[in-house]
Every structure is written in C-alpha cells, then in structure tokens.
C-alpha cells in the first residue's frame, strides 16, 4: 500500500527499505538546498535562503554534482536516500543517491 512522503505518494516498500537501511525517504518536492552560479563557482542556500554549514558544503562537494546541471536540489538531510537532483545539458533529470541506498536497492 502506498504511503505519503512530503506530500507525494510513494510505494510503501521504498519508504520501508530506506528506514531499514537507516535512511530517510525524501523527495525533491520537499524544501532543500539550492545551488546558484556565483562568478566562476556556486553558492548554496538552505530552504530559508540562509547559507549552509561547512559540513553541508563538504557533503555537497563529495556528491560531485556536475557543474553543467541546472535546477539543482540537494537534500538537507545527510541520511536522505536521495541526495541531489538536477537537469543535465539536454534537460534530462539526473539523480544522486546516498551510498547506502545504492547498496540496498
């Protein structure tokens, strides 16, 4: 039976698998960290528009989100099963998952 997560209906087994793996099932429809181009690099802002912590910046760097991606959303939770989404140069949606999620799925 499906369950609602962040206002989106998802298969119950996905949410259960995430929980069993010690992860939090999230969607990019929920508030997250946004990436904006700034000069030759990027700036990152939390859902309230504030700067992100040094720990979050390290986690974001480790995700290796391609600079060509646009409309980037980054999970605010380090244990979120989905860590980032964005659009590639051809407009296709791309995903970065938590390492643990890739192990169990």
Is residue 86 over pLDDT 60?
A: yes
Average pLDDT score over the chain: 90
71's CB contacts (< 8 A; 6+ apart) are 86, 87
pLDDT at 14: 85
Beta strands 33-38 and 8-10 are unpaired
Is residue 49 over pLDDT 70?
A: yes
Confidence of residue 7 (pLDDT cuts 50, 70, 90): low
Which pair of tokens denotes residue 102? 């890739």
More confident residue, 85 or 4: 85
Taking residue 26's Cβ as centre, other Cβ atoms within 10 Å add up to 23
Strand partners, 73: 34, 85
pLDDT at 2: 53
Superfamily of domain 28-100 in CATH is: DNA topoisomerase I domain (3.30.66.10)
- What gap in Å lies between CA 18 and CA 5, rounded to an integer? 12
DSSP three-state, residue 26? coil
Span of 23-27, 53-57, 101-105 with lowest mean pLDDT: 101-105
Confidence of residue 5 (pLDDT cuts 50, 70, 90): low
């Amino acid at each position: 039976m499906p369950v609602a997560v962040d206002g989106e209906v998802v298969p119950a087994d996905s949410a259960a698998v995430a929980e069993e793996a010690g992860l939090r099932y999230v969607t990019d429809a929920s508030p997250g960290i946004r990436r904006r181009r700034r000069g030759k690099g990027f700036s990152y802002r939390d859902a309230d528009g504030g700067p992100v912590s040094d720990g979050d910046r390290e986690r974001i760097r480790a995700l290796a989100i391609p600079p060509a991606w646009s409309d980037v959303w980054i999970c605010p939770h380090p244990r979120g099963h989905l860590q980032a989404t964005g659009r590639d140069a051809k407009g296709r949606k791309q995903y970065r998952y938590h390492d643990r999620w890739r192990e169990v799925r």
